[in-house]
Amino acid sequence: MMIDVPGRTRRLLEVDGIVQGVGFRPFVHGLAVEHGLGGLVRNHGGTVWVEIEGETASLDAFGVALLARAPRASRIEHVGTREVPAIGEQEFRIETSVLVDGLASIAPDIATCETCLRELADPRDRRHRHPFITCTDCGPRMTIVTGAPYDRARTTMSGFAMCEHCRAEYEDTRGRRYHAQPIACHACGPRLRMIDGSDGVDADPIAFTANAIRAGRIVAIKGVGGYHLACRADDDAVVRTLRQRKERDDKPFAVMVPDLAACDRIAHVDDDERAMLVCAAAPIVLVRRRADAAIASSVAPESEHLGVMLPYTPVHRLLLDALELAIVLTSGNRSDEPMAFDDDDARVQLAGIADVFLVHDRPIATRADDSVMRVIRGSPAFLRRSRGYAPTSIRLPMSLPRPTIAVGGHDKNVFAIGVGDRAFLSPHVGDLGHANAARAFRETLDRFERMLGVRAEQLVVDAHPDFESTLYAEQRAGDEGLRIVRVQHHRAHFAACLADAGHAGPALGVCFDGTGLGDDGTVWGGEIFVGDAANMERVAHLETVCLPGGDRAAREGWRMAVAYAVASELDVERCVPRIDASMRDAVAALVKSDPRATITSSAGRLFDAIASLVGARDRSSYDGQAACALEALAAASDDEGVYPFRIRSGTPLRIDLRATIRALVGDAASPRDRARRFHRTLATAVVEACVRLARTHDVEHVALSGGCFQNAVFTSDVLAGLADHDLIALRHRQVPPNDGGLCLGQLFLAARMHA
Ligand SMILES: [Zn+2]
Ligand SMILES: [Zn+2]
Ligand SMILES: [Zn+2]
């Protein structure tokens, strides 16, 4: 229709960000009616399209109000505006979900909003104490979706027929439950139930669970993205029992507290951390534990930090209100298996762990572990991006020529589906070394493709031939005749950071992590690249050392200490005095003589070595434990010393830390000060290499990626050093620096490769 109505203007607004499934369309509808505008609003791919028509002044006022009054759970990143011919439309309407380019849009799961919480607590409200209260601003989304497009019939709420009341609210375009797909009430919604092994429990499930927890029992609680295990956080005996039954040694448990005041009683929480705790995604936030916190030491052994979250579902809210206690709330699984989310599966998996179950009959379609964040130098950083964020899309710097699946890495696996310039990242899948995790990977990927309604034509994999994700992709590529793209691990890290920061390049890319297969067959992990996604050259790396015992070295950091001691011509016995002499000598002999031994430039393994050398930790029972212990030591020191180091010329440059190791071993200072000095030394060496390379290659941006940039002390030192030399740091904002962000870089590289 190409009519232009005189005196009227029509504008098309494309709103980008988190704008779907968060009550955005009813909000726009209300705003348009308020300003007397005609037109329509609809979801369009990952964005919301608004067409508004009326007098110019009203259109302008609408535009201002759109930004100022957007719903709580939304985040507007960009509004594209253009004028289109007016057609004389007076009414404003909401177009229900449509598929665009075959792509559905699904919102992440959102913590219960203030308005729903008020109704939950209001005895006069018909949803008083309703454990499944939601509205367009809050509630489950991705975890209940079974297909595309998003509507009630394609969610796990399809089995619950709406009562008359709920139906009326669902259809009221002006209400706050218009098209709120999970809408329910006491009359028509899901029900909570207790299972304690005895026959039927008639009591109020919330009161019963609260009593069980108070009495020191372990409870399995069905949440929004899976089952959790819960117990009192102040009772060392029950926390130890939970560790034993769950077969989990030292890895910290997260804690849920009733409110911010309770959080302040156990931890030092700054404004940035507070903002993260109360945000719509309600992640676990790493905060510094108070010395006098009433939290059992076995919750997070040896750690200065606590992972804390606030209640994010009505069930949590009701339970924590009844308890008025902090509880351990950890994934419902044994050891490192994926979190249980299927009811039958959970009953089997958690049978020997939980004493009682608090369950309900709203099925979970997709598993979503809690997200984990921390503040590093004043900015939020993801450690795990999952519930509350997945599957929100992230914009790629350029479009993919065809629908693509990036399968991610092996540890902390997250995969992504890329369509056009959109990357849809999965929730956290986990470490694929576990047989059940490999199965979970396949199932989640299958569900994700159905949910988005995408058929992939291309797969991107890590260059490592033995990764479970790589094997899966190869088989699938063969079966379905799909093309496959192989990407070196650290190049994917670099590209992930570029995509994350929206920087096309060129830049330097500092990629410091555990391990990844390098181009030359050695194990990389302390690399600096220069270039952009089209062309990356490895221009510096940590000087290589022997990796004695391969993967065992990651669990037994003392092996790396021996490797560094030998490389630095130090007395091995003096360096690792706590290690049994025969083991120590065997490893030292291997390092000295075996010409076939693997060598590595891994920064992660260097941190492990230093943790052992300063006496912080010789072994790790979980990934990153030694490095965390070393960081905790360093964080407790304000020493400003730096050890010597060398940067050896050549292409690539080599960062040689043998002088550092010798100085550190001979240093009589406290372990804290030595740990602090080491962090500053490594950061200084990295910055010096970057300064040299920036000059030679004429670049001013430095991308920081890899698991080592979860370390706040190291990251802060690097950031300060780069700033001192007028270099611009690019940090991860939307995905974690660890392998959980790898898939984003894999997609970007695939897009660039075929541009
Ligand atoms: Zn709500
Ligand atoms: Zn109802
Ligand atoms: Zn990595």
Instruction: Give the distance (Å) from ligand 2 centre to CA of residue 561.
Output: 63
Q: What angle do CA 532, 538, 543 make, to 5 degrees?
A: 150
Report which DSSP code applies to 618. Answer: S
pLDDT in tens, 352-361: 999 999 999 9
d(CA 313, ligand 2 centre) in Å: 18
The whole-number pLDDT of residue 576 equals 96
Tell me the mean pLDDT in the region 266-270: 97
Query: What average pLDDT does the segment 168-188 reach?
Result: 91
Helix-helix angle 24-34:56-68, to 10 degrees = 140
**Residue 728 Cα, ligand 2 centroid: separation in angstroms?**
54
Q: Tokens 């270099």 — which residue?
A: 727
Largest alpha-carbon pair distance within the chain?
92
267, with CB counted inside 10 A (0-12, 13-18, 19+), is buried
Q: Residue 598 carries which side chain, given as an amino acid letter?
A: T
Cα-to-centroid distance, 36 and ligand 1 (Å): 27
Question: How far does residue 205's CA lie from ligand 2's centre (Å)?
Answer: 20
Closest ligand to residue 139's CA: 1
- Ligand nearest to C-alpha 190: 2
Amino acid letter at 236? D
In the Cβ-directed half-sphere of 92, how many Cα atoms lie within 13 Å?
24
Q: How far is the CA of 194 from the centre of ligand 1 (A)?
A: 25
Token pair belonging to 596 = 């076939």
111 CA distance to ligand 1 centroid (A)?
8
Mean pLDDT of 442-470: 91
What separation in Å is there between the alpha carbon of 47 and the centre of ligand 2?
Answer: 30
Q: How many CB atoms lie within 10 A of CB 272?
A: 16
Distance 581 CA to ligand 3 centre (A): 33
> Which band of pLDDT confidence, cut at 50, 70 and 90, is reported for residue 107?
confident
- pLDDT value at residue 288: 95
Residue/partner pairs of 440-449 with CB below 8 Å, 24 or more apart:
440/338, 440/367, 441/413, 441/415, 441/468, 441/469, 441/472, 442/472, 444/366, 444/367, 444/415, 445/405, 445/407, 445/415, 447/365, 447/366, 448/366, 448/391, 448/415, 448/417, 448/424, 449/405, 449/417
For 351, the token pair is 């049978």
Q: Which ligand is nearest to the CA of 737?
A: 3
Least-confidence region, from 238-242, 301-305, 382-386: 301-305
C-alpha dist (Å) from residue 427 to 286, 359, 534, 739 = 19, 22, 28, 13
Residues 726-738: tens digit of each pLDDT: 999 999 999 999 9
- CA 134–ligand 1 middle distance (angstroms): 5
Which ligand has the nearest atom to the CA of 496? 3
Q: Is residue 509 within 8 Å of 528, Cβ to Cβ?
A: yes
Q: What is the pLDDT of residues 198-218, one digit of tens each?
A: 655 567 999 999 999 999 999
d(CA 389, CA 445): 17
Mean pLDDT of all residues in 499-515: 94
Shortest-distance ligand to the CA of residue 177: 1
pLDDT score recorded for residue 3: 62
- pLDDT band for position 503 (cuts 50, 70, 90): very high
As residues whose CB is below 5 A from the ion ligand 3, the structure lists 513, 739
CA 706 – ligand 3 centroid, Å: 5
How much is the pLDDT for 24?
85
| Distance from the alpha carbon of residue 168 to the mean position of ligand 2, in angstroms | 9
Residue 103: which pLDDT band, with cuts at 50, 70 and 90? low
C-beta separation of 330 from 349 below 8 A = no
Ligand 1 is a single-atom ion; what residues have CB below 5 A from it?
113, 116, 135, 137-138
Q: How far is the CA of 310 from the centre of ligand 2 (A)?
A: 27
% of the chain at pLDDT higher than 70:
97
Closest by CA position to 648, among listed 721, 540, 745: 540
Average pLDDT of the residues of the chain: 93
> Would you say 691 and 653 are in contact if contact means Cβ atoms under 8 Å apart?
no
Cα 204 to middle of ligand 2, angstroms: 20
Q: Could you say which ligand is closest to the alpha carbon of residue 136?
A: 1
Please give all residues whose CB falls under 5 A of ion ligand 2, grouped by chain where several chains appear.
163, 166, 185, 187-188
Taking 50 as the threshold, does the pLDDT of residue 689 lie above it? yes
Nearest Cα neighbor of 334 from 276, 409, 254, 247 is 247
The span from the CA of 716 to the CA of 166, in Å, is 51
Phi, psi of 172 (to 5 degrees): -85, 105
**290 CA distance to ligand 3 centroid (A)?**
32
pLDDT at 289 over 50: yes
Query: Which range among 51-55, 675-679, 701-705 shows the weakest confidence by mean pLDDT?
Result: 51-55
Do β-strands 523-532 and 535-542 pair in parallel, antiparallel, or remain unpaired? Answer: antiparallel
Report CA(388)–ligand 1 centroid distance (Å).
15
Q: Specify the higher pLDDT residue, 452 or 684.
A: 684
Secondary structure of residue 579 in the 3-state scheme? coil
Percent of the chain at pLDDT > 90 equals 79
Concatenated DSSP letters for 59-86?
Answer: HHHHHHHHHHS--TT-EEEEEEEEEE--
More confident residue, 84 or 719: 719
Residue 23 to residues 9, 42, 43, 72, 538, Cα–Cα distance (Å):
26, 12, 12, 9, 47
Ligand 3 center–CA 191 separation, angstroms: 43
Considering only CA atoms, which of 116, 11, 114 is closest in space to residue 66? 11
CA of 83 to the centre of ligand 3 (A): 46
CA-CA distance, 587 to 549, in Å (whole number)?
8
Ligand nearest to the CA of 23: 1
Q: How far apart are CA 233 and CA 257, in angstroms?
A: 10
pLDDT digits (tens, 9 = 90+) for 521-549: 999 999 999 999 999 999 999 999 999 98
Residues 119-157 have pLDDT tens digits of: 999 999 999 999 999 998 899 999 999 887 778 999 999
Angle, alpha carbons 133-322-242 (nearest 5°): 100
Q: What is the DSSP letter of 401?
A: S
Query: What pLDDT score was predicted for residue 101?
Result: 47
Ligand number nearest CA of 118 is: 1
Does the pTM surpass 0.85? The reply is: yes
pLDDT for residue 45: 64
462 CA distance to ligand 3 middle (Å): 10
d(CA 459, ligand 3 centre) in Å: 19
- pLDDT for 174 equals 78
Distance 315 CA to ligand 1 centre (A): 14
- Separation of 114 CA from ligand 1 center, angstroms? 7
Q: How far apart are CA 466 and CA 253, in angstroms?
A: 31
pLDDT in tens, 629-671: 999 999 999 999 999 999 999 999 999 999 999 999 999 999 9
Rounded distance from Cα 709 to ligand 3 centre (Å): 11
Ligand nearest to the CA of 513: 3
**Mean pLDDT score, 349-375:** 96
